[in-house]
Amino acid sequence: MLKRLLAGWLGLVLMVMSSLASAEPAHYKIVTGPERGTYIQIGQDLSKWVAQPAGIDLEVMASKGSAENVQRMRFEPGVKLALVQSDVYQAYIDMANAGNADAGTAIRPLRLIMPLYDEEINVVVRADSPMKTFADIKDKSISVGLIGSGTAQSATTLYHLMFGQAIPEQNIQHLSNEDALAALIVKKVDVAIIVVGQPAKLFNDMNPELLQQIRLLKVDPAAPETARAKQTYFPATIRATSYPNWLKEDVPTLTVKAFLVTYDYGLRDTVSKLNHFADSLCANFDNLQEHGHPKWKQVKLELPTLVHGWKYYGPVEKHLRACLANRSAAISATAAQAAQKPRSACTEQERLLLLCK
């Protein structure tokens, strides 16, 4: 019954989506992350399963990551959507509050469509390194990711929270994820910090022999550095099943949230297209979870209360909340109907055992 109710409601939405898809599509862009990261795969899923049925030709653009994406949302024509890390947004707000007017101009029009999933912080060292936990990276040579990437912001923020100081300039290297792992193996850096959702192609596509030369540091839940890091980040686990050719056991770590964002657009046509995108996101959410990147299975179709200055994009929020209400109503109707279902007639066996009432 639930499937029939949902199917009826979703059918109406999909009919609208079908008519939109047959019209001339809008050409939009979404900026994501590195070619071998999770963001770009999430963007490809959104393009295929959400944008296309909504009549939007969504071009998926690779990038260095979150900080670059904020700037491209502001300046690059056609970029209407982006994936960013929640702490990068907070970093812009902090800079704006500290008096950097450009930071405020870039970030304040940013609006959230929906929170997605957690991205694990991978702190990678050589297999023969004496380091055991996050707290051991102090004063080590560290690759923190490319300038403009979300990894760079997370790595520097994490270090500052844990140790109460910035990474010494002579200890920082800004390398891509692939170059960071190569530099780690040849001992040009001691630590590579990589923020990416599991399972990441970066690790699963690596040569097995090279994988055996690196390992992950754990978070020590009892360490004071961990307590300070939890002001911004949250406990999580990198599962051995995500990297069966590498990890022999689960590794405790920290995470940052990935957000799907847009700008506070007011033009009627753009608002309309983004509303269609929201309707399609709701209607095709099950397809994302079934056919998309494994991370979609961790995404909940919900709009939680926001903190740290975030705001939802108003028009899309209305459409998604209507979607959630319809889904909830369908579930409630099914439950009520099940509760009122009349007792079926007694079977012959029940009569013989005097069980009929």
* Per-residue pLDDT tens over the stretch 99-154: 898 988 888 899 999 999 989 999 999 999 999 999 999 999 999 999 988 899 89
pLDDT digits (tens, 9 = 90+) for 302-340: 999 886 678 999 999 999 999 888 877 777 666 666 656
Note down the domain range covering 265: 2-331
Q: Look up the CATH number of the domain holding residue 110.
A: 3.40.190.10
Higher-pLDDT residue of 77 and 344 is: 77
Specify whether the CB–CB gap between 80 and 262 falls below 8 A.
Answer: yes
Contacts of residue 248, defined as CB under 8 A and 6 or more positions apart, other chains included, come to 240
Neighbours of 296 (CB within 10 A): 21
Q: Is residue 209 part of a domain?
A: yes
Cα distances from 79 to residues 47, 263, 326, in angstroms, run 13, 10, 31
At 21, is the pLDDT very low, low, confident or very high (cuts 50, 70, 90)? very low
Q: Is residue 96 part of a domain?
A: yes
Rounded Cα gap, residues 237 and 120, in angstroms: 8
Rounded Cα gap, residues 250 and 107, in angstroms: 36
Average pLDDT, the chain: 88
Q: Is the pLDDT of residue 216 over 50?
A: yes
Strands 172-173 and 142-143: parallel
Q: Is residue 199 part of a domain?
A: yes
Neighbours of 127 (CB within 10 A): 10
Higher-pLDDT residue of 15 and 89 is: 89
Q: Is residue 339 part of a domain?
A: no
pLDDT digits (tens, 9 = 90+) for 198-209: 989 899 999 999
Rounded Cα gap, residues 342 and 357, in angstroms: 13
Specify whether the CB–CB gap between 142 and 193 falls below 8 A.
Answer: yes
3-state secondary structure of 198: coil
Q: Is the pLDDT of residue 210 over 90?
A: yes
The tally of domains found in the chain comes to 1
Q: Is residue 347 part of a domain?
A: no
3-state secondary structure of 61: strand
Rounded Cα gap, residues 154 and 173, in angstroms: 14
Higher-pLDDT residue of 189 and 231 is: 189
Q: Is residue 349 part of a domain?
A: no
Q: Is the pLDDT of residue 261 over 60?
A: yes
CA atoms 23, 27, 33, 35: torsion sign = positive
At 224, is the pLDDT very low, low, confident or very high (cuts 50, 70, 90)? very high
Rounded Cα gap, residues 208 and 90, in angstroms: 37
| pTM of this structure | 0.74
Q: Is residue 148 part of a domain?
A: yes
Q: Is residue 356 part of a domain?
A: no
DSSP lists the bridge partners of residue 296 as: none
Neighbours of 343 (CB within 10 A): 7
State the average pLDDT over residues 186-210. 94
Neighbours of 314 (CB within 10 A): 10
At 231, is the pLDDT very low, low, confident or very high (cuts 50, 70, 90)? confident
> Burial, 73: exposed, middle or buried (Cβ in 10 Å; 0-12, 13-18, 19+)?
buried
Residue 341 confidence (pLDDT): 60
Specify whether the CB–CB gap between 36 and 67 falls below 8 A.
Answer: no
Q: Is the pLDDT of residue 164 over 60?
A: yes
DSSP lists the bridge partners of residue 252 as: 237
Q: Is the pLDDT of residue 20 over 50?
A: no
**φ and ψ at 241, to 5 degrees?**
-70, -20
